[in-house]
Amino acid sequence: MNRMMRSATWGACLAWAAVSGVSVVSAQAQTVKITSLGSVEGEFCVADRALIFEDPNGTRVLYDPGRTVAGAADSRLGTIDIVLVSHMHGDHVGNAHGKAPDSGSCDKPDLSVSAVPNTSAVNIALAKNSKIVTGSDMPAFFAAKLRANGGNPGNSILARFGGSVTLGGVRIATVPAIHSNGVDPDFIEGDLGKALKSAGLHGDAGLATGYVLRFSNGLVVYLSGDTGITAEQETVVRNYYQAKLVVMNIGDVFTTGPAEAAYVINDLVKPAAVIASHANEVGTVAGKLRPGSKTETFVKAVKVPVHIPLSGKTMEFDAAARCTAGC
Ligand SMILES: [Zn+2]
């Protein structure tokens, strides 16, 4: 190679680096949009769990539909490419919901529409032709429900601890949650469901889970699910996945309360920002933190910005978990 050829090759390399550098910068500047589908628009309420994540490439992910998404017909859903279910409890997978968005009050959501035996997650996935991505032993349950309702069982996809799947440009991994994960007999039809119910037992779907999502702009988000404090929050979520944004359950009794959740954030995961979730209380009044609430206690105890998921309000986060709009 003569000098001119070498310099031409080097020049091409520089040009490539400049172009790819520009594309990396612009990807990081793109934002993930996060919207709560709670029970009262503009508030953070007792039953609120459901969040929609929209990747910069348009992929839309619904996390834990719970009881505040008014079924598959809820006009707030739009396109749903992927449904995530952290565990099988009715307030996450969805065993009942309201007639329409905002049809109940903040402390008493409308639960007048039953979603058993299907689950809201399955009803939504059937209507939207979504993939359901779960860990543990949950995929077989969802595949069976899809098949039983004329859907495609292949739309139930496994991401078990330690592995991941990438769908629509979003990498999805599951991590352990210290919780329970019994399948309510109401979701199990026939004699088996009746026998379990009378014995006070639940079906087995393996361990409860949390998720770690990596969006196409590079933002890594940890969804705690219902969990206590776990060693994996430091060793796996922080050290390996390097989550920058956390959706943290703070409700106490069933999961970490505000003090334990603050420890998880400040000392174990150490993200750049956190979204409070699953407070099991009226967290806001007129869109402002309710004084004396668990949510307020959590906000005060955490050292990084805490964002409150007000229903219907869209927050945008860049790759570094800086909120660039809507917070
Ligand atoms: Zn639970």
The token pair that represents 215 in the structure block: 């969006």
Radius of gyration of the chain (CA): 21
Mean pLDDT along residues 87-101: 98
Does residue 1 carry a pLDDT above 80? no
180 C-alpha to ligand 1 centroid (Å) = 7
CA of 16 to the centre of ligand 1 (A): 49
Given this model, what pLDDT does residue 21 score? 56
Q: How far is residue 246's CA from residue 271's CA, in Å, rounded to a whole number?
A: 7
For ligand 1, the distance from its centroid to the CA atom of residue 6, given in whole angstroms, is 62
Q: Give CA–CA dist 97/120, Å, rounded.
A: 8
pLDDT > 70 fraction of the chain, expressed in percent and rounded: 92
Give the per-residue pLDDT at 65.
Answer: 98
Which pLDDT tens digit goes with each residue over 245-265? Answer: 999 999 999 999 999 999 999
- Rounded to the nearest 10°, the torsion over CA 100, 104, 108, 110 is -30
Q: Determine the distance separating the centroid of ligand 1 and the alpha carbon of 87, expressed in angstroms.
A: 7
21 CA distance to ligand 1 centroid (A)?
Answer: 43
Q: How many angstroms separate the alpha carbon of residue 20 from the centre of ligand 1?
A: 44
Are the C-beta atoms of 134 and 165 separated by less than 8 Å? no
pLDDT, tens digit, 9 for 90 and up, residues 219-228? 999 999 999 9
Mean pLDDT of 88-99: 98
pLDDT tens track for 104-127: 999 999 999 999 999 999 999 999
CA of 34 to the centre of ligand 1 (A): 22
pLDDT at position 2 is 46
Say how many Å lie between the CA of residue 55 and the centre of ligand 1: 27
> Residue range 60-70: average pLDDT?
98
182 CA distance to ligand 1 middle (Å): 9
pLDDT band at 47 (very low <50, low <70, confident <90, very high): very high
Query: Closest by alpha carbon to 136, among 154, 166, 167, 157?
Result: 157
pLDDT (0 to 100) of residue 27: 82
For residue 230 the two structure tokens come to 């776990």
91 Cα: distance to centroid of ligand 1 (angstroms): 7
Q: Which amino acid is at 211?
A: Y
Q: How far is the CA of 224 from the centre of ligand 1 (A)?
A: 11
Confidence tier at 160 by pLDDT (50, 70, 90): very high
Cα of 172 from ligand 1 centre, angstroms: 20
Rounded distance from Cα 89 to ligand 1 centre (Å): 5
Arithmetic mean of pLDDT, 124-132: 98
Q: Please state, in angstroms and rounded to a whole number, the distance separating the CA atoms of residues 124 and 71.
A: 7
Whole-number Å distance between alpha carbons of 120 and 85: 10
Tokens of 180: 């329970």
Give the distance (Å) from ligand 1 centre to CA of residue 308: 21
pTM value is 0.92
Whole-number pLDDT of residue 4? 46
**87 and 208 in contact (C-beta within 8 Å)?**
yes
pLDDT in tens, 167-192: 999 999 999 999 999 999 999 999 99
Would you say 261 and 249 are in contact if contact means Cβ atoms under 8 Å apart? Answer: yes
